[in-house]
């Protein structure tokens, strides 16, 4: 069973993602701020991290940078999850170091396939 960290400050989005992942048989960890996400990632070493971009303390890109300072977490895929649909914004997010971009509202089939792929292949299909 894989453990997936969800960093999301919206209750409805958190519940949706948690329910999908738990239905698929994954264990979930939950954080509502960037700081909580970094702390949980560091202490629990999840297999995958789903990171909202807009968080109450600092943004998902900053949380990503902090997580990537821990060499033990270097192989953990971190996927951005955001309602930002502009292609240039999505590219900016990917350029900041995320391994993939998942748009909200979540497309169930695509979301499940993306999570499965990164759990199987790791970062950048390695």
Structural domain including 58 reads: 26-77+92-126
- Is 113 domain-assigned? yes
Alpha carbon dihedral 19, 23, 27, 32, in 10-degree steps, equals -10
60 vs 124, more confident: 60
Q: Is residue 100 part of a domain?
A: yes
User: Hey, what are 16's tokens?
Assistant: 């949706």
pLDDT in tens, 85-119: 677 888 888 888 999 999 989 999 999 999 999 99
Give the pTM: 0.94
In a domain, 18, yes or no: no
Cα 112 from Cα 122, distance rounded (Å): 15
Over residues 33-43, mean pLDDT: 98
For residue 42, give the CATH number of its domain.
3.40.50.2300
């Amino acid at each position: 069973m894989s453990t997936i960290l969800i960093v999301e400050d919206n209750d409805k989005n958190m519940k949706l993602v948690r329910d999908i992942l738990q239905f698929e048989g994954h264990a979930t960890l939950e954080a509502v701020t960037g700081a909580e996400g970094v702390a949980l990632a560091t202490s629990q070493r999840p297999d995958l991290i789903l990171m909202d971009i807009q968080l109450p303390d600092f943004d998902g890109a900053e949380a990503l940078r902090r997580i990537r300072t821990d060499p033990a977490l270097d192989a953990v895929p971190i996927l951005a999850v955001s309602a930002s649909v502009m292609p240039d914004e999505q590219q900016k997010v990917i350029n900041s170091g995320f391994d993939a971009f998942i748009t909200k509202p979540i497309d169930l089939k695509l979301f499940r396939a993306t999570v499965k792929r990164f759990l199987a292949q790791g970062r950048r299909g390695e």
